[in-house]
Structure 1
Amino acid sequence: MKLRKTLVVHSLLATVLAAGCSSGQTGQKGSAGGADSKAKEPEKAPVVKVFMSGGLKFPDGQTINENPWTAMLEKETNVDLEIEYGPATPDDFISKLNLKFASGDIPDFFVLPATSQSWLMDNAKQGALMDLGDKVKNYKNLSNAVFPDAWEAAKYNGKIYAVPVLNDGNLGTNNFYVRKDWLDKLKLDVPKTLDDFHNVAKAFKEQDPDGNGKLDTYGFIGYDNLKGWSGLFGAFGVIPDEWIIKDGKIVQADIQPEMKDALAYIRKLHADKLLDNEWPLTKVKAYTEKVSNNKVGLYEGNWAAARNEINTSKTNDPAANWIAIDPPTGPTGKKGVFGDPAYKSFAVITSKAKHPEAILNMLDWLSVQNNIDKFVFGFGEYGENFMYTKKDGKLALNFENHNKYGYRQQLMFMQPKELNSGKMESLGADFKLVDNINLSVKNAIRDQFTGSPTPGMIENLSSLRKLRDETFVKIIIGELPLEAFDKFVTDYKAKGGDKILKEVEEWYAKKGK
């Protein structure tokens, strides 16, 4: 069994020394260390095999299994976690998970990306996952930590096969950001309408806003996920991939006439050379790097952008004055951006798990805000004056340690319902994260279908999305005429879209009862 570090030593070295000098220490949680050998050994904590997404670095001497936060979680919830750190990206994580299931090396517990909901349904159908319905109700904190609609997303044939993990405070997702210093330099107002947006993008492209004597800045940037610049669609009341309510009925936004109007607008941006030509092949990392490198002054980004790429932009150019703004208003007065669903992932217990109650007890403990705060603000010697300080009655995170020990937040397998504004403010008042979150929530257009994937979705949605993405990209860059949208709608319906629509209509009718 792996060595358990105590939570009272002052360094990792001290932990090692303590382990080496205590002849009676067994390495088991709850071990007395030096006690009479005839004394009754404490009951061992149940072992839980965890497979989780990796990608983060650890301070010297630490691993995902050997660190203060894992030790704290194990102690607080009486569980022995054996964690395997897997691939970082969702697709690679799922590929590795499939290999583990195929080989029989099945974990007891893992957190599944929300984008892999169909994987959840497929494996629930095959009996690989545990039905949690009768068990979850015995854990009140856990039961109350999830919105009713989110529970629906984790059901297959009426049974619950995962615990939905909420987004922070049920947030929106994106905002529009603009360089106010560039606007001021070019004597432009903050853009409010689609026409304003076009004019600002044109000026940022053609009038050398960074003053380096070169026309090397973009008007607007995008990347290979159309939701990443959802506000240009939201101005027409549609968001790619979402279900919306129209004339009292639930409909797929991808095939509405308003989507064609949105494509016409974005197509003109491309034709006017206001979009960077690389966008169809650009991944999100390269997308945000263009912001960090100050090659763009107008874009759509996550509500936390001020903490990330915008912060780097300011480091590279102290004159950069970014502000969050509303998305542009369209011709009929509509506006909005993609809003995350209530959940961001699924906490899954497999049917092979020997100690499901131990896992649920851990998730129940993690559903309490005060417990989650231990992961954000630390505890004991890793708390005040290490992870944060108090200033004027407010908490301020130590960013060096916050980033150094960033892995700890991956262990937050649950998320309480309410936004912890103190947590956001602790990240730095200058970032205005609470304001950015509120703006994002205000403008969020959320998917109106919140159920689990229907049979038609499981069968056809992947190919329909591929058809949509290929068609929309070709329309925008001019490889297909705008009228190709009409054929896309016909093909979409014939290739499974009509079947899915019927299933979603039936779900919506039941939901309203």
Structure 2
Amino acid sequence: MRNSWKKVLLLSLVTVLTFTLAACSGSNNNKPSNSPTAAPTEGTDNGAAATDSGVDATGWDGSKYTTPVTLSTVKGIGTNYFFKNGETMENNVLHTYMKDNLGIDVKYDWVVTDTNDAYKTKLRLMLSSGEKMPDVVTYRGDLETVNMLIDSGQFMDVGEVFDKFAGDKYKQAVDLNADTWLPVVRDGKRMALPVLDYAYNDDMVLWLRQDWMDKLNLQAPKTVADLEVIMDAFVNQDPDGNGKKDTLGLALGFKNTFLNWMSDVSWLFGAYGTMPGQWNKGADGALAYGSIDPGAKQALATLKTWMDKGYISKDSGLKDDVSGSEFFTKGQAGAIVGRNWLPDWPFGDLINNVPGAKYKAYPIPAGPDGKIGAQSGNPSVNGWMLINKNAKNPEALIRYYNFFFDNWANPEKGSTFENGFAEGYDWAKLPDGTITKEPEKYPDLFKDYADRTHLVEPIYYSLTFEGARIPSLYADTMIKLGNGEAPTTPYESQTAAVRKPENVDAMKIVMEQKDIRMKNYFQGPLTETMKQKNELLNKLLNQTYSKIIYGQSPIDEFDKMVDNWKKSGGEQITKEVNEWFASASK
């Protein structure tokens, strides 16, 4: 959701993909090996001068620490994390590889399954109780939590360590977007390291149950009104054929926010010209909060109608992004709005739960006045890494990240990671030499799998979420594959091996609809009034929204809420946001 305050440099494409495909990287000088413990023969450009002995002051000999160093951290395990029998977050093939080949040993103070914001909640509890933070905290999600971590005073200015130790690929990727650092700059100091993502990876498409569409002879929707016709058929014409009225039109989850990354509803607000939960630029050039825009009132009125007609579940207000998606993956709802890579996860659950189910991506539909709007995703950053002031080897985290840029993000042919991270984990070789990533078809090649319906991808275990990602690489590759061109690089081959045709088609839609992106123009730290009032104001907004949707308050309650929001600190926040924007735009 990073948006520019200057003319932003975006080479080729601007970023984003989350959970899915492990990438790879260029300039890898490794010898070919199928072993997950094969050591690189040459190290990355770590930016530190070595002594005559070839070892720098931190004990780095160009490829690893001569004396292993430890980084303590905490971890939220996503529902797309899978392990081989006997392996855990604390003991796995990636952890062993990094310890053996880089001399970096990652230790976990705690690990939590990250459902219902469990990871964020645990971090915030640590902050509120004044607990000592680990050497490294990685976080992707709301900037408010990032701000809270920074404001705790436990983390260091990472500017100097970045300038000194970040490799060329990392620096070049950061420089693609002129405002990458903005959210974490305090008094000129850079307080967190950006984790980079793929361009356009967070952009939204509409997913529909294609088997239901075909059964009911429904046509592709171009407008919200067209989609309502489809949802009505999904609810009332028994698309699953069980003789019961137990299906839904659209999978939603708005327990925490109306600007979700999955089971999203913000696109409906976009159909009325606004985007909730972010700061949009008006015709006068000033920034205004999208949640109080008159267009939001129209969106809420539409959502109430959908609730009344049974198009959306009455439990939607109790579901977050992920649990809301289960309406679709359990076969109950016929539509969901989310990112291009949902076929990778969680749509596999739909196929497991409903054999024979089919899905297809469609463009985001237009509103009654022809408006189409969707959240833009984050054109450069997929998360942040904070380093404790007391960490003994703060540079170790950057060397860890450099390794993935140099060896994983776009690997060369014949390199260690040409086919994936480790044989028998995220890839295997058939007798004819063909590489497969299908454990369900070849169980003998993927031994000790606890669940053969999901590929075990060790790259997710990394401190940096998915190793490293070169911003333009994913979209460029997907368009190439979508145009019918054959893959020619290891990255392209890996992408072709794991990306389903529906995923490729969805990415083509994203690129064709890229002009519908609505930017969040505020990328600065929390303002003083935000720090004091955000929790109160967000509660006011969410409660009013929910009451209107559930029919507990009349639609005109929206106008009263807007007045209260302004009087309760919103007006002052708007002033502060625009002051920041004017300053940042100079």
> So what's the TM-score if we normalise by structure 2?
0.73
Partner of 1:437: 507
Question: Unmatched 5+ residue regions in structure 2?
Answer: 1-31, 38-64, 441-445, 447-451, 478-491
Please list the CA deviations of residues 194-217 of structure 1 after superposition, one character each: whole Å capped at 9, or x if unmatched: 211111111111112222222221
Quick check: 2:182–2:523 contact (8 Å CA) kept in 1? Answer: yes
Quick check: 1:464–1:495 contact (8 Å CA) kept in 2? Answer: yes
Amino acid at match of 1:67: N
Partner of 1:324: 361
The reply to whether residue 479 of structure 1 matches residue 556 of structure 2 is no
Q: 1:121 aligns with which of 147, 168, 174?
A: 147
Q: 2:208 aligns with which of 168, 178, 202?
A: 178
Quick check: 1:375–1:412 contact (8 Å CA) kept in 2? Answer: no
For residues 371-450 of structure 1, what are the structure 2 equivalents within 5 Å?
Answer: 377-379=419-421, 381=423, 387-388=427-428, 396-399=436-439, 403=454, 405-411=456-462, 413=464, 414-420=468-474, 421=477, 422=492, 423-430=494-501, 432-440=502-510, 442=514, 443-450=516-523
Classify 1:201/1:177 alpha carbon distance in 2 versus 1 (closer, same or farther; 3 Å). Answer: same
Question: Unmatched 5+ residue regions in structure 1?
Answer: 1-6, 13-41
Partner of 1:358: 396
Quick check: 1:424–1:433 contact (8 Å CA) kept in 2? Answer: no
CA-CA distance at 1:366 after TM superposition? 2.8
Q: 2:328 aligns with which of 291, 303, 317?
A: 291
Amino acid at match of 2:341: A
Q: CA RMSD in A?
A: 3.2
Q: Return the alpha-carbon distance in structure 2 between the equivalents of residues 160 and 377 of structure 1.
A: 36
For residues 32-431 of structure 1, what are the structure 2 equivalents within 5 Å?
Answer: 43-54=66-77, 56=81, 58-89=83-114, 91-97=117-123, 102=129, 105-115=132-142, 117-138=143-164, 139=166, 140-146=168-174, 147-224=177-254, 225-227=257-259, 228-247=264-283, 248-342=285-379, 343-368=381-406, 370=408, 377-379=419-421, 381=423, 387-388=427-428, 396-399=436-439, 403=454, 405-411=456-462, 413=464, 414-420=468-474, 421=477, 422=492, 423-430=494-501
CA-CA distance at 1:360 after TM superposition? 2.1
Q: Return the alpha-carbon distance in structure 2 between the equivalents of residues 338 and 185 of structure 1.
A: 32
Please list the CA deviations of residues 375-420 of structure 1 after superposition, one character each: whole Å capped at 9, or x if unmatched: 794356458xx61559999965235559453343130514332343
Quick check: 2:258–2:277 contact (8 Å CA) kept in 1? Answer: no
SS of residue in 2 equivalent to 1:305: coil
Larger Rg: 1
Please list the CA deviations of residues 214-262 of structure 1 after superposition, one character each: whole Å capped at 9, or x if unmatched: 2221122321242222221121122220111220222111111111111
Partner of 1:490: 563
Q: Return the alpha-carbon distance in structure 2 between the equivalents of residues 379 and 344 of structure 1.
A: 21
Quick check: 1:172–1:440 contact (8 Å CA) kept in 2? Answer: no
Amino acid at match of 2:461: Q
Amino acid at match of 2:235: K
Q: Return the alpha-carbon distance in structure 2 between the equivalents of residues 284 and 391 of structure 1.
A: 42
Moved more, 444-453 or 251-260: 444-453
Partner of 2:489: none
Moved more, 302-311 or 198-207: 302-311
CA-CA distance at 1:152 after TM superposition? 0.9
> So what's the TM-score if we normalise by structure 1?
0.83
Structure with greater proportional helix content: 1
Classify 1:293/1:404 alpha carbon distance in 2 versus 1 (closer, same or farther; 3 Å). Answer: closer
Amino acid at match of 2:383: S
Q: Return the alpha-carbon distance in structure 1 between the equivalents of residues 155 and 339 of structure 2.
A: 33
Moved more, 330-339 or 415-424: 415-424
SS of residue in 2 equivalent to 1:294: coil
SS of residue in 2 equivalent to 1:87: strand
SS of residue in 1 equivalent to 2:113: coil
Please list the CA deviations of residues 261-318 of structure 1 after superposition, one character each: whole Å capped at 9, or x if unmatched: 1112222222333222221113444433322232222222332222234333334444
SS of residue in 1 equivalent to 2:385: strand
CA-CA distance at 1:345 after TM superposition? 1.6
Q: Return the alpha-carbon distance in structure 1 between the equivalents of residues 210 and 422 of structure 2.
A: 42
Q: Taking CA–CA contacts closer than 8 Å with sequence separation of 6 or more, which of the two structures ends up with the larger relative contact order?
A: 2
Q: Return the alpha-carbon distance in structure 1 between the equivalents of residues 431 and 288 of structure 2.
A: 50
Q: Return the alpha-carbon distance in structure 2 between the equivalents of residues 237 and 209 of structure 1.
A: 33
Please list the CA deviations of residues 346-383 of structure 1 after superposition, one character each: whole Å capped at 9, or x if unmatched: 11101111111222222232334635767794356458
Moved more, 464-473 or 267-276: 267-276
Classify 1:57/1:197 alpha carbon distance in 2 versus 1 (closer, same or farther; 3 Å). Answer: closer
Percent identical pairs in the alignment equals: 26
Please list the CA deviations of residues 412-458 of structure 1 after superposition, one character each: whole Å capped at 9, or x if unmatched: 5143323433344321433x323323434624433222222222222
